[in-house]
Amino acid sequence: MNFRNFTVLDLETTGFSPAKDRVTQLAMVTVIEWKIWDSHLVSFDTGSPVPEKIKALTCAHEDELKFHHKIELQGITIAHGTIVAHNAEFDKRFCKKFLPGIGSGNAIWWCSLAHYRKKFPGQSHKLQDLIGKYLTPTERTPGAHSAVSDALNLAKLLLKVR
């Protein structure tokens, strides 16, 4: 990692395919000079039911999402700098379809999953496993598989285990 300023991004979606699924949550954590600066969470009303398996995994329910304002997805931008995501290709595909301002300009996508596969061969590289192994319980943000907790935990992991 040869950068000190970056945005950790995490999406929660209704499934795995941008062609048929939707974004339910977007979390962004800004890291400046290797310090967590701020975090943001945006929830989206998908206009359709969240599948049961996704509800069980992410705790995202239509009741929660329907109270959030529908916002203009085109207005969210990260056009410059480095965007970090665990399994960045997944997030990048959804951003390209639903949030085209993210990754526009000269932004660089950096994949923490690929980084940790190289750094720690032969062990699990699932985000929750890495968090469990390298962050103490007091360092962890609770709420696995919610966008904001995953983004905050990934930022903390990157600060601790570069």
153: domain CATH number is 3.30.420.10
Whether residue 1 is contained in a domain is answered as no
Q: Which of 54, 27, 42 is nearest to 153 (CA)?
A: 27
Whether residue 29 is contained in a domain is answered as yes
Whether residue 46 is contained in a domain is answered as yes
Q: Which domain holds residue 135?
A: 6-157
Q: Which residue has the higher pLDDT, 74 or 8?
A: 8
Q: Can you give the pLDDT at residue 123?
A: 94
pTM attached to this predicted model: 0.86
Burial of 138 (0-12, 13-18, 19+ CB in 10 A): exposed
Average pLDDT, the chain: 84
Mean pLDDT lowest among 93-97, 101-105, 127-131: 101-105
Percent of the chain with pLDDT over 70: 82
Number of domains in the chain: 1
Q: Can you give the pLDDT at residue 99?
A: 86
Burial of 93 (0-12, 13-18, 19+ CB in 10 A): middle
The answer to whether residue 93 scores a pLDDT higher than 80 is: yes
Type and span of the H or E element at 62: helix 62-66
CA distances from 118 to 6, 121, 130 (A): 20, 6, 14
